[in-house]
Amino acid sequence: MTDNDDIDTIGLSRRTVLAGLGAVGVASAGAGLGTTAYFNDTESFDGNTLTAGQLDLLVDWQQTYDFGEGNQFVSAHPDHDGDGEQSIEIDGEVFTYSDFPDEDDPDSNGANLRVLDCETIPPLEEADFGTDPVTGEEMETLVRLTDVKPGDSGEITFSLHLCDNPGYIWMQASDVNGDGGTATEPEQIVDPDNLGDLGDAIEARLWYDEDCDNVYDGAEPVDIMLTLDFSGSMLYEQYGGLVSEDDVTVGGTTYAETTKIDLVELGTRQFVSYLQSQGSDVQVGVAYFDGEGSDDSVPRTGVLQGLTSDLSVVDAQLTDLRQKLADVVTGPSPSTPGDGDGDPDPFANANGIATGTYIGEGVDDAQAELDANGRSGVEYRNIVLSDGESFNGDGSTSFSSPTGAAADARAASPNPATNVYTINVDGSASTLQAMAGAAGGSGGDPAFFNDVSDPLNIPTVFGNLAAQTAQEKVIMDDSLGNVLAALADGNGVPLDGNRSTPYDERNDPADDPDREAFRGDGVMHCVALEWELPLEVGNEIQGDTLAFDLGFYTEQARHNDGAGPSVSA
């Protein structure tokens, strides 16, 4: 078993919390000497500082319990009024779990609060663990249910927020102890040795709860448009398209530097590959948008690939996006992505490229494709990525405003109502956030908005969106005893920061290259544990107890490979 005293964890039964690293030192040096000589000089380097980076893992949760009367709120964090339902008051406004039901899932009655972030989640020592809804006894730890009967079930969805720096995360258990408890006469008849059978009797599932609604979701049919920014700032160094001078391999081609559009290609192709591997019932299409060409009455936007269930065709259209973007912005007008007329060298002189970014026109094109070729009775999604300020029709041309186009897409009429997801790559965050929202909603929904300050995180965002599209990924489906044993083994169960990678949490090593670190920008990732004591369980579990600690461990990604700390047996 892991010696948890040797590693940093957040233990949810002990009310402990990590303290961030503080400053590690201050160094200053001065040089120079004034003399009476004709020539003298002073060079000084003042106020030098070294500050340690921070790695802070924050956890919130919602726990429910069904003892025959439907799901009851047991405990949550934060819970500003102590009623067991997750809630928080921010600037005078109260947000509660039940304000956010999943209308597409009849089993969902809410969702962990997307408004929670690294600034608003209270420290763990302020958590209120609530009361046992059956006995009314105060719960001094996360799980303290004292009258569990066959047919009872419960669930906890933890949402994890890694703040400041990327890191690897493990879920852990320790001090797992099953005990036979008081031996009653009915139990002695079937279990004369009074063994601790409760852990083996309880059925459990551990999974990534992608929509954070405390309910495991299988796959549903979806039609998806990927609406991508093809403006010059996604490729050309002259306009901020260069991310780093590190090489990158995309689809078998290695470039000597990394651009934003390379990372979009990696992310979108991974998105499509994951849906294909899961056998998802999807159609996927691709739209693009740039600015205006030589004829300022014609925006450079269009559909790169119409909706199709043949995901290999979509993957082919998402290859060599450098060239396809270059064809749009530096090729002759009218542009045709894929005709090879543009200059894909990110260091080329791009003075003559199209100007502006017509996000709204791209959204309109994508919505028209959904309207024309989308299937009836399925969910529609439009995933919009941009790194720029949008032209919105206020100039000499009158193109669609992005917020107006998104509002039309979300509306139920005249077009099919569409869930609009947006990805801001250090661009017009306020515009893209206002566009994001559920079909029929008003927009500005943080659950549909992804703010990416570091373009290197683009593939991870697409990976997480893919995981939300396919059936939610199950880590373990076993007895609770076996789940806890896995969590208590070694460093625990290594979690994957990008669920679309082919990483097996139970069988692959923790430092497998397919396991990715979690972004350090506070983005919510949800992990859930549900349990049920079947009705057919008999007297052998009477009086049995199962005690355990739960927690999460994180370590920074830089200078670590994800293998985790060495553990003592």
pLDDT tens readout for residues 224-256: 999 999 998 999 998 899 999 999 999 889 999
Can you tell me the distance from the alpha carbon of 408 to that of 39, in angstroms, rounded to the nearest whole number? 73
Q: What is the mean pLDDT of residues 352-366?
A: 82
Can you tell me the distance from the alpha carbon of 76 to that of 131, in angstroms, rounded to the nearest whole number? 11
- Confidence category of residue 44, pLDDT binned at 50, 70, 90: low
**pLDDT tens-place string over residues 83-114:** 999 999 999 999 999 988 877 777 788 999 98
SS3 182: coil
Higher pLDDT, 259 or 501: 259
What is the model's pLDDT at position 262? 97
Q: What is the mean pLDDT of residues 197-221?
A: 91
CA-nearest of 500, 493, 480, 462 to 384 is 462
Burial of 281 (0-12, 13-18, 19+ CB in 10 A): middle
Cross-strand bridge partners of residue 303:
287
- Full set of structural domains in the chain with CATH: 57-215+471-554 (no CATH), 220-466 (3.40.50.410)
Can you tell me the distance from the alpha carbon of 176 to that of 6, in angstroms, rounded to the nearest whole number? 18
Can you tell me the distance from the alpha carbon of 214 to that of 102, in angstroms, rounded to the nearest whole number? 11
What is the model's pLDDT at position 1? 38
Neighbouring CB atoms inside 10 A of 500's CB total 29
Query: Which residues have a Cβ under 8 Å from the Cβ of 328 and sit 6 or more positions away?
Result: 230, 288, 290, 300, 335, 337, 342, 354
Can you tell me the distance from the alpha carbon of 450 to that of 258, in angstroms, rounded to the nearest whole number? 21
CB half-sphere exposure, 109, CA atoms < 13 A: 9
Can you tell me the distance from the alpha carbon of 366 to that of 359, in angstroms, rounded to the nearest whole number? 11
Instruction: Report CA Rg, the chain.
Output: 27
Can you tell me the distance from the alpha carbon of 13 to that of 552, in angstroms, rounded to the nearest whole number? 11
CB half-sphere exposure, 59, CA atoms < 13 A: 29
Query: Which residues have a Cβ under 8 Å from the Cβ of 86 and sit 6 or more positions away?
Result: 60, 61, 62, 76, 77, 78, 79, 96, 97, 110, 112, 113
CB 543 within 8 A of CB 523: no
- Confidence category of residue 358, pLDDT binned at 50, 70, 90: confident
CB 481 within 8 A of CB 178: yes
SS3 417: coil
Residue type, 61: W
What average pLDDT does the chain have? 84
Residue type, 145: L
Asked if omega into 459 is within 30° of 0 (cis), the reply is no
Can you tell me the distance from the alpha carbon of 400 to that of 313, in angstroms, rounded to the nearest whole number? 29
- Confidence category of residue 3, pLDDT binned at 50, 70, 90: very low
Can you tell me the distance from the alpha carbon of 455 to that of 444, in angstroms, rounded to the nearest whole number? 22
Pairing outcome for strands 379-386 and 222-229: parallel
Question: Per-residue pLDDT for 2 more than 50?
Answer: no
Can you tell me the distance from the alpha carbon of 26 to that of 50, in angstroms, rounded to the nearest whole number? 6
Can you tell me the distance from the alpha carbon of 63 to that of 27, in angstroms, rounded to the nearest whole number? 48
Q: 7-11, 58-62, 193-197, 446-450: which has the highest mean pLDDT?
A: 58-62
CB half-sphere exposure, 496, CA atoms < 13 A: 28
What is the model's pLDDT at position 9? 52
Lowest-confidence pick of 1-15, 180-194, 202-216: 1-15
- Confidence category of residue 18, pLDDT binned at 50, 70, 90: very low
CA-nearest of 310, 309, 307, 304 to 324 is 304
- Confidence category of residue 397, pLDDT binned at 50, 70, 90: low
- Confidence category of residue 149, pLDDT binned at 50, 70, 90: confident
Neighbouring CB atoms inside 10 A of 101's CB total 14
Residue type, 469: T
Pairing outcome for strands 545-556 and 9-11: antiparallel
What is the model's pLDDT at position 98? 92
CA-nearest of 529, 522, 518 to 554 is 518
CA distance from start to end of the chain:
6
Please count the residues of the chain.
569
Query: Which residues have a Cβ under 8 Å from the Cβ of 252 and sit 6 or more positions away?
Result: none
Can you tell me the distance from the alpha carbon of 538 to that of 189, in angstroms, rounded to the nearest whole number? 11
CB 285 within 8 A of CB 308: yes
Residue type, 519: R
